[in-house]
Amino acid sequence: KSGKRGSYCMFERGMDAAMRTRHLVRIELAGAMSRGELELHYQPLFDIASNHITACEALARWRHPERGLIPPNEFIPVAEESGLIIPLGAWVLEKACADAARWPIDAAVAVNLSPLQFRNSSLVDTVAKALAAADLRPDRLQLEITESVLLDDSAGNLATLRALRQLGVRIAMDDFGTGYSSFGYLRSFPFDKIKVDREFVRDLPDSPESLAILRAVVGLGQSLGMTTTVEGVETQDQLSAVRTEGFVEAQGYLLGVPVPNAEMVKILHGHRPV
Ligand code: C2E
Ligand code: CA
Ligand code: CA
Ligand code: CA
């Protein structure tokens, strides 16, 4: 009985701490943006066959003066709840396009979109402006959207996706396989890329179930003309397995961790074909 009570109290204290953090983040985040404490780090995506970098994914970080580098999971959801994701997301798009325009090779830049950002009527305009301001070729921008982005009102979503593609940008379905109707969305929406969640890579090469699912995704990608990408590749064995299955691209700590832009520029320099 006392054990139960104890764990209940701990749970409650845990909630308090989490709520306090959220509260602090909400208050501080707007200021953090104006003080320039937000950064984009970049993680490379590799073409598995040629071993070339095809794209770098922009991943937001908050360099907090006291708490150090804060990961996106601790502030993106708060920004989403408070609406701050609209200016934050616009900043990410502008910065990512500006950075990519100066890279030494013409790798694409992948940017994550949140649900609120996607439903905002100014999104297409924001993307167009970011491309124009950076003078970045539209096909060098890839927008990653998850199923949670598409959950409601498919007619409006379809119109937005079509308008984005009209701009010439590429659309990737992110975290494929983690939602309830991943396959349904592939039928309804014009994606250029399927990015399988790392959940299906984690227990490779020993999971026949994961392998079967990955194999099906490669087949789908080939029939639908979509690039197939895996994330979360951490070991050589995992890389070999997804290569054998026929995936086009891979991303993960084995191949490259997220680094600040200056660091990525050096990596891309060394990567330039000679
Ligand atoms: P995501 O889009 O699925 O991004 C991949 C996450 O997996 C990144 O975490 C990346 O650092 C991590 N990762 C990459 N390779 C490996 C690996 O080999 N093993 C493991 N265990 N993890 C790996 P990160 O940077 O913490 O980002 C977390 C999530 O935050 C992202 O998940 C994305 O949904 C969101 N996010 C990040 N930046 C932005 C942004 O600018 N806007 C929006 N809306 N969301 C963002
Ligand atoms: Ca992503
Ligand atoms: Ca992902
Ligand atoms: Ca993921």
Give the mean pLDDT of the chain.
Answer: 90
pTM of the model: 0.93
Q: How far is ligand 1, taken at its centre, from the CA of residue 99, in Å? A: 19
- Kindly report, residue by residue over 30-61, the tens digit of the pLDDT: 899 999 999 999 999 999 999 999 999 999 99
> Which residue has a Cα nearest atom 15 of ligand 1?
252
> Which residue has a Cα nearest atom 2 of ligand 1?
112
Q: Is 118 helix (H, G, I), strand (E, B) or coil?
A: helix
Bridge partner residues of 63 (DSSP): 69
- CA-CA-CA-CA dihedral for 8, 9, 11, 12, to nearest 10: 120
Cβ pair 59, 42 in contact under 8 A: yes
pLDDT attached to residue 14: 62
ipTM above 0.90, yes or no: yes
Structure tokens at 182: 């991943």
**How far is Cα 214 from Cα 208, in angstroms, rounded to an integer?**
10
Q: How far is ligand 4, taken at its centre, from the CA of residue 99, in Å? A: 23
> Which residue has a Cα nearest atom 17 of ligand 1?
232
Q: Is 106 helix (H, G, I), strand (E, B) or coil?
A: coil
Identify residues whose C-beta is under 5 A from ligand 4, the ion: 175, 197
Taking phi over 0 as left and psi of -120 to 50 as alpha, with beta for the rest, 6 belongs to alpha
